[in-house]
Chains A and B, each alone.
Chain A
Amino acid sequence: MNRTKLIRAVPALLTCLAVLLVVACGNVGGTDSSSGGSSGPTITVGSKDFTEQFILGSMYAQALDANGFNGVAKLNLGSEQIADKALQNGQIDLYPEYTGTALVSILPYKGAYPETPEATYQAAKNLYSKRNPADTMLTPASFADTYGIFVRKPVAEDKNLKTLTDLAEASPDLILVSFSQFQNRSDGFPNMKKNYPAIDFKEIKIVNSLGLRYQGVAQGGGDVGVGFTTEAQLSSPDLVVMKDTKNIFPQYYPAPVVRSDVLKKYPKIKGILNEVTASLDLKTMRELNGKVDLDQEDPEDVAKEYLEKKGIID
């Protein structure tokens, strides 16, 4: 009796499952994946998990797409560790990295941070080329994207805080809003503490969503936050960015990292990517970041608009 029902039910169940799978297979995997739709060899461009990365990744993918390749963007992979993993196991062919970040977090670099941007780039490029599989770090952009530690204006004015040294001294009365990666990566908070030993914040709150760093300070009862210097929010009149007089951070210059075997196969990529990188400057990057963060535009659209304006795509 149950057997008859079972015999009837099974084909119905299987049909349901099949239908569901057909429906679902329309799009599998990360939704931040967009295909260029052009013909030509497919080049997959990854990105890390914050706005500037979404824009740069989109730009590289779209530029490739308009110049003889099928540029596919796989944005928002995660931290540099995850993006690097995807790069090394071939899931992506390139992604936008920063010279300093690569040295600190990915490559087996030891010793003090190189003093100049050029030295940083050369050190990173060299170490990347020694990896297996080897990578090539292309020419960096002309501007840096480093950490901008900011303080809420009322607090900064009240305690007359202008530099990180001032901040360190005032820190026992202040609350820092940070995120786990900054707190524990060697170039982040540990670096600050080493160089400004007076640092001893009253409280450190961790908010692990990168998009909430500014809100976390404004709303979360925080006084001090961690920004990136190319972010538009840092120009807000409600914040004061602390000057890093001791230059404690490495040089973080944006530069795409490409698998060397991919580059060798398609040497044309180099010129296309370099053109995009070279076209950018600090002011422009801030504006573009602002369009996404403040005006809530889509990174892909912002990238497209920019590339069209620059004539890199039409």
Chain B
Amino acid sequence: MSNAGLLLLQDVLEEPKLIDWEWLKENFWEDIVPALQGHIFLSVISVAVALVIALPVGVLSARYRKAYPPVTFVTGVLYSIPSLALFAILISIPGVEIGPSPVIIALVAYSLLILIRNTVAGLDSVPPETIDAARGMGLTDRQILLRVELPLALPIIVAGVRIATVTIIGIATIGAYINGGGLGALIFDGIDRQFPTEIIAGAVLATALAIIADLLLLGLERYLRPWARVRRT
């Protein structure tokens, strides 16, 4: 036992083994996969909920321009609250359960600004002539919105979803501090145990997740934007 005590402080001076492949193999299903699953869950649900809120708000803000500045202000303020703080604040509210819920609420709050902004920008980018033409063809306002404006606004909206998703995937790591699960759990545990392997596992997976999401959504954005499509030879 005293040997181990001696080793502790000496250990710190030695080079830490950066990647312990043994540990990774042993704990893959126990620790790594659940963390990854939790992270995907947090990210997908947050983006989905955020869209459900942001799209209608964005459409309304584009229509009733006076509402836009206050909306931008509120979502902007939410965005500037540091993530660690917003998570912690949500937990202090009585009735909020400890787990993924407060993390999801916070992640949704963070992405509203960019999603609403891009929805409005997307709708703004629709040429007025196109709308006039549609009106001339006898379409109602609602039909114009759903069949003409939104589809044309999609590339810019998807660009916003892209940024929001990458942001959410990154911030979700901090959610582990309040027991939200996800890859951050590996990182925090790695810090506490001074175990770089865990930190690296969490970091690499979170980065990979963000990059994959970014590329997939970029593909979607390009697919929807005919003039940016690369010609296939």
A–B in direct contact per CB < 8 Å? yes
**Residues of chain A at the chain B interface (Cβ within 8 Å):** 1-3, 5-6, 9, 13, 17, 20-21, 23-32, 76-78, 82, 85-86, 89, 91, 209-212, 214-215, 218-219, 232-233, 235-239, 286-287, 290, 294-296
Known A20-B40, A30-B181, A238-B9: A287·B34 in contact at CB below 8 Å: no
CA distance A235 to B8 in the complex (A): 11
Collect the chain B residues with CB atoms within 8 Å of residue A211's CB: 191-194
Contact check: which of B2, B35, B99, B178 meets A235 at CB < 8 Å? B2
Residue from A86, A91, A211, A286 having most chain B Cβ neighbours under 10 A: A211
Please name the residue on chain B nearest to A294 by beta carbon: B4
B39, B44, B179: the one within 8 Å of A78 (CB): B179
Task: Please provide the 5 A-B residue pairs with the shortest distance between their CB atoms, ordered closest to farther.
Answer: A211-B192, A236-B5, A24-B41, A27-B34, A24-B40
**Cα separation A2 to B41 with both chains bound (whole Å):** 30
Contact B151 A3, beta carbon cutoff 8 Å: yes
Min Cβ gap B126→A in Å is 11
Q: A6-B154, A29-B180, A30-B99 are in contact. List 5 more A-B contacts (CB 8 A).
A: A3-B151, A9-B220, A13-B220, A31-B186, A235-B5
Q: Which of B58-66, B75-83, B90-98, B108-116 contacts A (4 or more CB under 8 A)?
A: B90-98
Decide if A215 touches B178 in the complex (CB within 8 Å): no
Asked if B38 and A29 sit within 8 Å, CB to CB, the answer is yes
Q: Report the Cα distance A69→B91, complex, angstroms.
A: 30
Nearest-CB distance from B205 to chain A (Å)?
A: 13
CB distance from A225 to the nearest CB of B (A): 11
Secondary structure dominating the interface of A = helix
The answer to whether B12 touches A215 (Cβ under 8 A) is yes
Report if B37 contacts A (CB, 8 A).
yes
Total A-B Cβ pairs within 8 A:
138
Inter-subunit contact A218/B40 (CB<8 Å): no
Q: A2-B226, A238-B6 are in contact. Are A86 and B191 (CB under 8 A)?
A: no
Bound CA span A72–B178, Å: 19
Q: Is the CB of A290 within 8 A of B41?
A: no
Please report the C-alpha to C-alpha distance between residue A85 and residue B92 in the assembled complex, in whole angstroms: 9
CA A5 – CA B38 in complex, angstroms?
Answer: 32
Determine the distance from Cα of A89 to Cα of B41 in the docked complex, in whole angstroms. Answer: 24
In the complex, the answer to whether A24 meets B9 with C-beta atoms within 8 Å is: no
Nearest residue, chain A, Cβ from B97: A91
Contact of A212 with B185 in the complex, beta carbons under 8 Å = no
CA distance A25 to B42 in the complex (A): 10
Contacts known (A28-B38, A30-B185, A233-B8); A296 close to B48, Cβ less than 8 A: no
Most B-side CB within 10 Å, residue of A17, A32, A212: A32
Q: Which A residue sits closest to B5, measured CB to CB?
A: A236
Nearest chain-B residue to A90 (Cβ)?
B97
